[in-house]
Chains A and B, each alone.
Chain A
């Protein structure tokens, strides 16, 4: 299952092994000059490799071994439980880092050693993690059904089945869906947390008869919109822009989108802790971060990336975390979702679906 990248570092690896032959001390030096980095694979991991990982490895003079896991959380738990994790840095949904911090699975970070992260907005980091990239749960729609001058532009519009007749789909998960319901009910994007869970579920009951499908995978959300199975859907921005790049008549708005992130955190007892910390600093370096959206439709987590000149104004307008777009959206509070209230809300979901 594990996909090991990093063939480009084979030369340096060989050199390190050759040096290692000369004595124990150089073996130790070699050991601290590498880290194992884990992300979610696919096009996303390839984009990072070009934009962030390769430049960071070059600058620090280290080897970055890559691994990938679509759901790293159970593996994180198992690795730390053995007392000898092999992974160092993981790129996971921010909630995993927070929960990991609570359960003693990840290292507490000293931001004095990570100046690039220290300069980021406080809401983009926690004691255990720093945001790595942003995506957004947005309102997407078919342009065939809704022409530009009569397109839905808020969750209130999504809920308004008279003004915007048509078939709808929402994600079969409380994350971002409860937030959307509350915004549809008139809660301001920056006043969402702590979520009024009862109110959110009440509002969802209202739209339920008009929701054709509750989707479970990003691919499904795109397919539903593309095939005309639904006219309006909450989907991840990257999925929708991929469709419109392929020529589908679909569009989305960042207005009232729910801004979500993955974060970097370091496993407790990571074999290469000091190197991992210097890697974290490079990973959120403004220029490296600015390179990411040149290769994939995700937004940099470090807002300073937009001041580097790497991202054109035209490209910035398409990205979820560009200051202009971020202002229109709600920032998901992973701290709330991993609180006991948040977990209770998550448990209510299936009961809501079954009724």
Chain B
């Protein structure tokens, strides 16, 4: 037995899906040729060099430097994610509750740095934080310090600049989730006698968690691959995984040694996505219909 109305709606749905696929196909083609094929090619090179070999992976497994770099990279990424969350949450929250004019202003401030190159921002932090930089000179001028503080060329400088660069990736998904939380729920909470802080902790915060998870995942994953910022603001000893990739191109004289490092990082990122997606439908948070 078929229900004619259901049949029509099903057909409509199919046709819509087909249309969507057709519309998306140029983008899919671009992704295929510019992302999937090169990554596949690199993956192939990491296991094939005059015959199949796992040498490149054995090296990563057995040499300490890779472990140390992966560990350091994950540590820094975690720290950056945490700081971005602490800074980003209040910003996104503020943007949700203020009037429209203020909201535009706040979001503009968040998005504006987006349009500045990462390199320029790294140098700007250098100008602000170095020994003869603006901040140290100011602190010396007002007499708080006698000796300039070491604010860059260490992991502190690296983390500060990285948080700054990645903050929009935290704020925007957070804001996206928060502004969809119905205000009536808070009103209902208030009408039942909940204090503002109680309502925030029991109603608003749990409902905003998908945004937290989405933002945190984005920031964490992006941070894993950072190269320019630690290179410019670190002291040279902050060897992140991306730096090992470039070093391996130089040292081993073949792409495979470098792409193996990249593949391990890629697999780690996929694993993270997999774990996170068990808790939350990422596609719903990142790509809202």
Q: Which residues of A contact B (CB under 8 A)?
A: 74, 77, 99, 172, 212-216, 220, 223, 227-229, 343, 346-347, 350-351, 353-354
Q: Provide the B71-84 mask, 1 if CB < 8 A to any CB of A, else 0.
A: 01000000000000
Contact (Cβ within 8 A) A350 B236: no
Bound Cα distance A350, B251 (Å): 11
Is residue B140 within 8 Å, beta carbon to beta carbon, of the partner chain? no
Minimum-distance CB pairs A-B, first 7: A214-B236, A172-B236, A213-B153, A228-B132, A350-B65, A354-B68, A351-B65
Bound Cα distance A343, B251 (Å): 8
Selected from B130, B231, B239, the residue in CB contact (under 8 A) with A229 is: B130
Selected from A74, A77, A227, A353, the residue in CB contact (under 8 A) with B236 is: A353
- Chain A positions within 8 Å of B65 at CB level: 350-351, 354
Bound Cα distance A350, B253 (Å): 17
Bound Cα distance A213, B64 (Å): 23
Contact (Cβ within 8 A) A350 B244: yes
- Chain A positions within 8 Å of B236 at CB level: 172, 213-216, 353
Smallest CB–CB gap between A229 and chain B, Å? 5
Bound Cα distance A36, B232 (Å): 35
- Chain B positions within 8 Å of A214 at CB level: 235-237
Is residue B155 within 8 Å, beta carbon to beta carbon, of the partner chain? no
Residue with the greatest number of chain A CB neighbours at <10 A, chosen from B132, B231, B232, B235: B235
Smallest CB–CB gap between A191 and chain B, Å? 27
Apart from A223-B126, A350-B247, A353-B239, what 16 extra A-B contacts exist at CB < 8 Å?
A: A99-B253, A212-B150, A212-B235, A213-B153, A214-B236, A216-B231, A220-B232, A227-B132, A228-B131, A228-B132, A343-B251, A350-B65, A350-B239, A351-B63, A353-B237, A354-B68
Residue of B nearest to A217 (CB): B231
- Chain A positions within 8 Å of B235 at CB level: 212-214
- Chain B positions within 8 Å of A216 at CB level: 231, 236
- Chain B positions within 8 Å of A353 at CB level: 236-237, 239
Bound Cα distance A354, B65 (Å): 7
Smallest CB–CB gap between A50 and chain B, Å? 31
Bound Cα distance A213, B69 (Å): 18
Interface pairs (28), CB distance under 8 Å: A74-B249, A99-B253, A212-B153, A212-B235, A213-B153, A213-B235, A213-B236, A215-B236, A216-B236, A223-B126, A227-B130, A227-B132, A228-B131, A228-B132, A229-B131, A229-B132, A229-B153, A346-B251, A350-B244, A350-B247, A351-B64, A351-B65, A353-B236, A353-B237, A353-B239, A354-B65, A354-B72, A354-B239
Bound Cα distance A354, B66 (Å): 10
- Chain A positions within 8 Å of B132 at CB level: 227-229
Bound Cα distance A77, B68 (Å): 31
- Chain A positions within 8 Å of B130 at CB level: 227, 229
- Chain A positions within 8 Å of B131 at CB level: 227-229
Bound Cα distance A322, B261 (Å): 44
B226-253 residues with Cβ-Cβ distance < 8 A to A are: 231-232, 235-237, 239, 244, 247, 249, 251, 253
- Chain B positions within 8 Å of A215 at CB level: 236
- Chain B positions within 8 Å of A212 at CB level: 150, 153, 235
Selected from A223, A227, A347, A351, the residue in CB contact (under 8 A) with B251 is: A347
- Chain B positions within 8 Å of A350 at CB level: 65, 239, 244, 247
Smallest CB–CB gap between A223 and chain B, Å? 8
Bound Cα distance A99, B131 (Å): 42
Residue of B nearest to A215 (CB): B236
- Chain A positions within 8 Å of B244 at CB level: 350
Smallest CB–CB gap between A354 and chain B, Å? 5
- Chain B positions within 8 Å of A351 at CB level: 63-65
Bound Cα distance A74, B126 (Å): 33
- Chain B positions within 8 Å of A99 at CB level: 253
B49-102 residues with Cβ-Cβ distance < 8 A to A are: 63-65, 68-69, 72
- Chain B positions within 8 Å of A74 at CB level: 249
Smallest CB–CB gap between B155 and chain A, Å? 13
- Chain B positions within 8 Å of A228 at CB level: 131-132
- Chain A positions within 8 Å of B247 at CB level: 350
Residue of A nearest to B254 (CB): A77
Residue of A nearest to B68 (CB): A354
Smallest CB–CB gap between A208 and chain B, Å? 9
Bound Cα distance A215, B234 (Å): 9
Residue of B nearest to A208 (CB): B237
- Chain B positions within 8 Å of A354 at CB level: 65, 68-69, 72, 237, 239
Q: Provide the B248-289 mask, 1 if CB < 8 A to any CB of A, else 0.
A: 010101000000000000000000000000000000000000
- Chain A positions within 8 Å of B232 at CB level: 220
Bound Cα distance A212, B131 (Å): 12
Residue of B nearest to A170 (CB): B236
Bound Cα distance A347, B131 (Å): 33
B17-38 residues with Cβ-Cβ distance < 8 A to A are: none
Bound Cα distance A176, B123 (Å): 27
Bound Cα distance A99, B253 (Å): 10
Residue of B nearest to A216 (CB): B231
Smallest CB–CB gap between A262 and chain B, Å? 16
Residue of A nearest to B69 (CB): A354
Smallest CB–CB gap between B48 and chain A, Å? 15
- Chain B positions within 8 Å of A346 at CB level: 251
- Chain A positions within 8 Å of B153 at CB level: 212-213, 229
Bound Cα distance A93, B131 (Å): 34
Bound Cα distance A228, B131 (Å): 7
- Chain B positions within 8 Å of A213 at CB level: 153, 235-236
Residue with the greatest number of chain A CB neighbours at <10 A, chosen from B69, B72, B153: B153
B196-242 residues with Cβ-Cβ distance < 8 A to A are: 231-232, 235-237, 239
